[in-house]
Amino acid sequence: MIMDATDNTTKQESNKDSSTSSTDKPPSWWKQLFTKPIERVIATRSDLINEIRKAETKGLIEADELGMIEGVMQVDHLQARDIMISRSQIKFIHRDSSFNEILKQVLKSGHSRYPVIDDNKDDVEGILHAKDLLKFIGKDKKFVIGDILRDTLHAPETQRVDELLTEFKKSRNHMAVIVDEYGGISGLVTIEDVLETIVGEIDDEHDVEEKPNIQKRSKNLFIVNALTPVEEFNEYFHVNEDLEPFDTIGGLITHRIGRIPQQAEYITTTDFKFTVLSSDGRRIQLLEVIPLQEVVSADDKNDNDATNNNNNKSSDQETSKNNDTITRKHSYKQKKEVTSA
């Protein structure tokens, strides 16, 4: 009986020690977050992001994990036009192209999917998968492009990126043609573009051509990579924005705000309004830039040059036509004088 009592006492002390050690061990960051009064800790989305950033600072989560968590939380604020490849960069395939012409284009560009058009570039007839060409190698006489075209997924410029991701999963498509309010093609979004907003850039062996750092969306709206060098930014907009001592546009925004900014935060300078479209807790990724004064971008200059060239060409043709008319009249007059003589 004495031994039994001793055993019971020992067990009780052991349980007490175990309970004490369990109490002394601090709860995990995740448990701390959700055991505090929720209205004080995560009353807003910004509060939640701040708590997650604190967890990364304390080493509870990795920087890459922080970036992905923030990326997931940002996709519902991004629209298709914010991440799309602009129309000028799309590699179209013409429906009337021969098998060998298409094969050459596919081998040169290295993409896996291509919008197929007829004479009207705003009318995509379907999507061509490069892998579907393999069975026609050596049998190109049997090739009929209409037989292997896949359905086209269309999405408006204003569609939210998280909704677009859902559409990709439902339709089992990996590419969407982005259309403007008039139904014209304004760009292209792939499932890779969507995933990159969450996990960062995904480079493969064919990613030789990168998206330009500055993409024009409308006359007064531009999407700018935050890593764009200041010199490139100034050259594009033909301004002399004083951003010293920063090398990049993102560096300016971070310095002005005093920390890594969250989505939708903005600053204004003399000439521009910079709004953060996405950031991953370590750096800004994308910016929306709106000129506050009249500026001439590189794209505007190229458009003007093209227009002037066309006007000059038309003027030269008109001058040449007038000269031909004068020459014909002069020849006719000489011929008439000779005849009269």
Total domains present in the chain: 2
pLDDT band at 293 (very low <50, low <70, confident <90, very high): confident
- Written as six digits, the tokens of 23 are 């109490």
Encode pLDDT of 32-70 as tens digits.
555 555 445 577 877 888 888 888 888 888 888 888 888
- Quick check: is 147 in a domain? yes
- Quick check: is 67 in a domain? no
- Among the three residues 211, 228, 245, which one is the final residue of a domain in this structure? 211
Residue-wise DSSP of 74-119:
HTTT-BHHHHPEEGGG---EETT--HHHHHHHHHHH--SEEEEE-S
- Quick check: is 124 in a domain? yes
Are residues 86 and 190 located together in one domain of the fold? Answer: yes
Least trusted range by pLDDT, from 8-12, 23-27, 84-88, 265-269: 8-12
- Quick check: is 201 in a domain? yes
The whole-number pLDDT of residue 288 equals 92
- CA–CA distance, 280 with 65 (Å, rounded to integer): 10
The whole-number pLDDT of residue 147 equals 93
User: Structure pTM?
Assistant: 0.58
Q: How far is CA 97 from CA 87, 90, 104, 185, 266, in A?
A: 20, 17, 11, 21, 47
- Quick check: is 225 in a domain? yes
Are residues 203 and 83 located together in one domain of the fold? Answer: yes
Are residues 97 and 219 located together in one domain of the fold? Answer: no
Amino acid at 189: V
The CATH number of residue 168's host domain is 3.10.580.10
Are residues 248 and 305 located together in one domain of the fold? Answer: yes
Are residues 231 and 186 located together in one domain of the fold? Answer: no
CA dihedral 294, 183, 303, 225 (to 10 degrees): 60
Average pLDDT of span 215-233: 88
Average pLDDT of span 296-320: 53
Q: How far is CA 286 from the centre of its chain?
A: 8
Are residues 266 and 167 located together in one domain of the fold? Answer: no
Residue tagged 């002390």 (tokens): 13
Are residues 315 and 302 located together in one domain of the fold? Answer: yes
Are residues 306 and 272 located together in one domain of the fold? Answer: yes
- Quick check: is 254 in a domain? yes
Are residues 169 and 239 located together in one domain of the fold? Answer: no
Are residues 99 and 140 located together in one domain of the fold? Answer: yes
Average pLDDT of span 174-180: 93
Are residues 231 and 174 located together in one domain of the fold? Answer: no
Q: Domain span at residue 101?
A: 79-211
Are residues 199 and 150 located together in one domain of the fold? Answer: yes
The CATH number of residue 249's host domain is 3.30.465.10
The whole-number pLDDT of residue 28 equals 59
- Facing residues of 279 across strands? 284
- Quick check: is 290 in a domain? yes
- Among the three residues 173, 188, 211, which one is the final residue of a domain in this structure? 211
User: Does the structure show a pLDDT above 80 at 104?
Assistant: yes
User: Does the structure show a pLDDT above 50 at 277?
Assistant: yes
The mean pLDDT of the chain is: 77
The whole-number pLDDT of residue 335 equals 43
Least trusted range by pLDDT, from 86-90, 244-248, 308-312, 336-340: 336-340
The whole-number pLDDT of residue 127 equals 95
Q: How many CB atoms lie within 10 A of CB 59?
A: 8
- Quick check: is 266 in a domain? yes
User: Does the structure show a pLDDT above 60 at 179?
Assistant: yes
Least trusted range by pLDDT, from 57-66, 158-167, 186-195, 200-209: 200-209
